[in-house]
A and B are shown apart, each in its own frame.
Chain A
Amino acid sequence: MASKKESTFLTMTMTLFIVTVVAAFSLGSIYNLTKDKIKEAKERKVTDAIRKVLPEFDRLEKSTFVEEGELVQSIYKRDPVADTIILYKAFNEEEFIGTAVKSYTNMGYSGKFWIMLGIDATGKIYNTAVVEHFETPGLGDKMDESKSKFPLQFKGKDPRDFIIRVEKDGGDVDAITAATISSRAFCDAVNRAFEALSIEGGKEL
Chain B
Amino acid sequence: MSIKETLSKGFIKENPVFILLLGLCPTLGVTTSAINGLGMGLATAFVLIMSNLVVSIIKNQIPNKVRIPSFIVIIASFVTIVDLVMNAYVPALHEQLGLFIPLIVVNCVVLGRAEAFASKNTVFNSIIDGLGMGIGFTFALTLLGAVREILGSGAFFGLSVPIYPIDEGGSPVTMLVFVLAPGAFIGLGYLISIMNRISKS
Contact = CB atoms under 8 A, between A and B. Distances in A.
Interface of A: 1-8, 11-12, 15-16, 19-20, 23, 26-27, 30-31, 34, 37-38, 41-42, 45, 132, 134, 136-139, 142, 148-149, 177-178
Contacts of B91: 38, 41-42, 45
Q: Majority SS of interface residues in chain B?
A: helix
B84 A7 contact: no
Interface stretch (B18-26, B60-68, B109-117, B189-197): B60-68
Contacts, number: 94
A31 B98 contact: no
A34 to B, nearest CB: 4
Given A4-B64, A138-B174, 14 more contacts: A5-B60, A5-B63, A12-B66, A15-B61, A16-B73, A19-B70, A23-B73, A27-B77, A27-B81, A30-B84, A34-B87, A41-B91, A137-B96, A139-B176
Interface residues of B, number: 38
Contacts of A2: 60
A142 B119 CA distance: 47
A38 B84 contact: yes
A5 B63 CA distance: 5
A5 to B, nearest CB: 5
A149 B166 CA distance: 14
A23 B180 contact: no
6 contacts: A1-B60, A6-B63, A12-B66, A30-B80, A142-B171, A177-B169
B149 to A, nearest CB: 8
Contacts of A5: 60-63
Contact of A138 (B76, B87, B179): B179
A34 B84 contact: yes
A16 B66 contact: yes
Nearest to A150: B169
